[in-house]
Structure 1
Amino acid sequence: MYGTDLKLSALWQHVCAVASPTLIYDILDKTVAILLILENRETEKQLAVLTTHLKARQGALLSSLRNEQGKDLLGFLDQHCSTYPVIICGDFNAEPSEPVYATMTEVSTGLDSAYAVLNGGKEPPYSTWKIRESGECCHNIDYVFYTPNFLRVEGGFDVPTENDLGPCRAPSFSYPSDHFSLICDFSMQPEQNASMFSGNECDALEGENSLSESF
């Protein structure tokens, strides 16, 4: 299970939220993307935050399916908030060498990885480290993507070291999840020309395969 926790000042308010199944080759999948639109009470600038959890397991077929899910996420964002500052975070179940990572970070998307930016272009060596029957499983499959044209990543929380984890790895009493917290601080870039949803546009996000709630 992957959770996303936003720490916002009182200046930000919810505008609307949307939950939508992802598509794989135009077929609905049980994987869900959740999109939240926030608005600054003073400047009326808006921010889109999306979280998801892509298909698990290894293999060429699953890697291809995750890439299709990534393409669907980008299409979903382009449809609903193409001119907004965007933060995308979640368990992609894919290492940086997989196609979905390249899909999310190619130049045309306007997205970059916050942790890669903070670490000189490289992702952390792992975001999960656990022990399975087949042996230790240590790799990076969780990401925070953002739009650098709108946002600046100011800092991030380091993943625990091997000594921090101890021989039992995770989960443990110290680290109750087998995925580690990815925490980033963002600030708005000085120039930001994002458009805003009107009330009607927010209602229009409701569809046959989505669930929308206004705040």
Structure 2
Amino acid sequence: MATSATTDSISYEIKQYIKPESLKREFDVNISRTKTTIHVLQWNVLAQALSYTKGNFVRVTDDIVDFDTRKWRILEQIIIRRPDLCALQEVDMFTCFLENELPKYGYTCVFVPKTNSKCYLFQNDSKNFKGPDGTLLCYKTDVFKRISQHGEDLPDDGRREKQIFAALDLEHKPTSNKIVFIGTHFKSKKEFKTSRTYQAQAIVEYIRKNYSTRQHVIVAGDFNGETDEPFYSEFLNFGLRSAYRTKMNDKEPSFTTWKFKGRDGTEREQCKAIDYIFYNPKGFTPKAILQFPNKSDIGPNALPSIHYPSDHLALEVVFDIEQ
């Protein structure tokens, strides 16, 4: 696959750790960035505390998820195509790494940690425990002015950790449009689809209550469910659309996460599309999407891999802003 990455713009500080080269990806079409376009990144980066291999990522070796190497690959994938807006989940390395690094590349960051993060279960792992994971929203400081920010727990099912969403109300400086940008992470596992429905309803109600007249709304996240679940319909019925589905002839990608997990001594493959970028079609038109690799591009051991630091693949969309 040819690359659309601007590798020349990556500093030596990062490049020295990116060996071998990262997985190559490209946009489906070439599009010029203008003052009426915005580039959005959505990515579950995989919490360092949850990246352990024994009994978890069974086809992954410890060196692949070593923090001192993986953190640079994560930073590279965030900044390599210079998105204007980023929604990141499972971020547990904010205060120890990204908080200092991302501003070097022109980003302002808003981090909302999870209440009772699962990462706390690994506090005794001094090598990999970095703090609670959460959702991180980033925006280019020279492109947006922050009006307000908000973070909130989502309805939960009584399990240990609570899921969250983070919201930014921004002014897009080149066009003066007000843009609502929301990042979230829903409950995992098939048996919790009812929880995901309630969580979608909570976000829809938040938008309805606070931004009922806004047309420039984007909701990005790891929703941990496929298109046949009710949560997906909640967003569509509200009037939002999936950017990848719009650009891919009414289909989502074949998968956005692929891994082999170990449970009770049994290897189980997980390969599905559960990450989305939803948008209001009255406010935006998706013009380009970052294409997904095939399994053969990734390799038989799935993700994370020596070429890619997370078990989820990033979604990237270039939108045209409707005036």
Instruction: Tell me by how many angstroms 1:24 deviates.
Output: 4.9
The aligned counterpart of 2:152 is: 20
Contact residue 155 and residue 195 of structure 2 kept, 8 A = no
1:7, CA displacement in angstroms?
6.0
What corresponds to 1:71 in structure 2? 201
Quote the Cα distance in structure 1 between the aligned partners of 2:253 and 2:234.
19
Conservation of the 8 A alpha-carbon contact between 1:110 and 1:149: no
Q: How many Å separate the matches in 1 of 2:155 and 2:254?
A: 30
Indicate the larger mover: 126-135 or 9-18: 9-18
Please report the RMSD computed on the Cα atoms of aligned residues, expressed in angstroms: 1.9
What secondary structure is seen at the aligned counterpart in 2 of 1:183? strand
Partner in structure 2 of residue 91 of structure 1: 222
Please list the CA deviations of residues 74-109 of structure 1 after superposition, one character each: whole Å capped at 9, or x if unmatched: 001111222221110101000111111111112xx1
- Measure, in 2, the Cα distance between the counterparts of 1:157 and 1:33: 24
Q: What does the per-residue CA deviation read over 1:32-82, in whole Å, with 9 as the maximum and x for residues that have no partner?
A: 1100111023543200000110001122xx111110110011001111222
Among 141, 155, 161, which residue is 2:294 paired with? 161
Deviation of residue 159 (structure 1)?
1.6
1:56 to 168, 180, 188: 188
Aligned to 1:32: 164
- Aligned partner letter, 1:2: N
**Displacement of 1:23 after TM fit?**
2.5
Higher helix share: 2
1:173 pairs with 2:302? no
Give distance in 1, aligned partners of 2:144 and 2:198.
Answer: 33
Q: 2:318 aligns with which of 176, 180, 185?
A: 185
The CA distance in 1 between the partners of 2:156 and 2:269, in whole Å, is: 30
Separation of aligned partners in 1, 2:182 and 2:318 = 16
Q: Which runs of 5+ in 2 are unaligned?
A: 1-42, 46-86, 89-137
Question: Kindly, what percent of the aligned residue pairs are identical?
Answer: 30
Deviations 1:85-134 (A, max 9, x none): 1110101000111111111112xx12000000010111001000001124
CA distance, structure 1, for counterparts of residue 259 and residue 235 of structure 2: 26
The structural deviation recorded for 1:150 is 0.9
Q: Are 1:153 and 1:184, in contact at CA under 8 Å, matched by a contact in 2?
A: yes
1:118 alignment partner in structure 2: 247
Deviates more, 1:125-134 or 1:175-184: 125-134
Structure 1 residue 189 displacement after superposition: 1.0
Contact 2:287 2:318 in 1 (8 A): yes
User: Is the CA contact (8 Å cut-off) linking 2:200 and 2:234 kept in structure 1?
Assistant: yes
Contact 1:40 1:46 in 2 (8 A): yes
The answer to whether the 8 Å contact 2:44/2:310 transfers is no
The one-character-per-residue Cα deviations of 1:185-206 (angstroms, maximum 9, x if unpaired) are 112113xxxxxxxxxxxxxxxx
The answer for the alignment partner of 1:44 in structure 2 is 176
Instruction: Give the TM-score, by structure 1 length.
Output: 0.79
Tell me the number of residue pairs that the alignment of Structure 1 and Structure 2 aligns: 183
